[in-house]
Amino acid sequence: MQFEGKNAIRQALQSNVTINKILIDQNFANRKDEIVSLAREKKLRIEFVPKQALDRKSTTSHHQGYIAFAVDFAYTPLEKLASKSLPFYVLLDGIEDPHNLGAIIRSCECAGVDGIIIPKNRACQVNDTVIRTSTGAIANVKIAQVTNLKEAIDYFKKNNIWVFAAETGGECIYKKNLNIPLAVIIGSEGKGVRPSILEKCDGVISLPLKGQVNSLNASVACGIVVFEVLRQRINL
């Protein structure tokens, strides 16, 4: 995995991501630098290189003078996700666009989601594009990868966690009590939540729409849903 940019690398250094080395613009070598200080505290390998070397390694063209190389992303087993009295999880049913997945991770981290669950097949996995789009948030979010999303739903139900699909035709999200142990399913960009997944849910929650288009981008919809849950829980 590759992290680029000061903010993304700072968050990675402050998390449990295992970083092998950091390339830093050689012009930063003789100045007080937060990334250098954090890396040295952790006794990480630092290489000061010409900016041209960073440009060649960069996949974003926005490295800001910093590129970090980490071990491949480590998924968290489903049963190892955070456990507390009022958990909140997000399950993704077939999200294929890495930019959407990265944006979803960022929104979930900001809203305090306890874990994200993605399927192994027919869905985007964590890759460099996802990491870049999450702008460092992925370092602070636990993500479980499961073979069967239905089994994950059964697991949550057995642990007294309500499972709702965010889909059209359901109860208005603003009228639904979401201040409960909760898992919300966000569907794919084109097809939404699959019927076979819908029938396993405890209910369906929907966002009211006033326009002519009958759906939102998956990451936008997820952002609205997770922050409505947060709003209810902190009683704004």
Distances (CA, A) of 187 to 83, 100, 101: 24, 12, 12
Q: What is the pLDDT of residue 17?
A: 72
Angle made by CA atoms 190, 196, 197, in degrees to the nearest 5: 75
Claim: this prediction has a pTM higher than 0.85 = no
Q: Which pair of tokens denotes residue 205?
A: 């929650």
Q: In terms of CATH, what superfamily is 78-234?
A: SPOUT methyltransferase, trefoil knot domain (3.40.1280.10)
pLDDT (0 to 100) of residue 184 = 98
- What pLDDT score does 236 carry? 53
pLDDT tens sequence across 155-182: 999 999 999 999 999 999 999 999 999 9
- Catalogue the E-assigned strands of 62-161: 66-70, 88-93, 115-119, 143-146
Q: Which fold has domain 2-70?
A: 60s Ribosomal Protein L30; Chain: A; (3.30.1330)
The encoded tokens of residue 106 equal 């960022």
Q: Among 143, 11, 142, which residue's Cα sits nearest to residue 70?
A: 11
Question: For residue 16, what pLDDT is reported?
Answer: 63
Low-confidence ranges of the chain (pLDDT < 50): none
Parse the chain into domains and list their residue ranges: 2-70, 78-234
Query: Which pLDDT belongs to residue 138?
Result: 85
Inter-residue contact 58 to 67 (CB < 8 Å):
yes
Q: How many other CB atoms are there within 10 angstroms of residue 216's CB atom?
A: 15
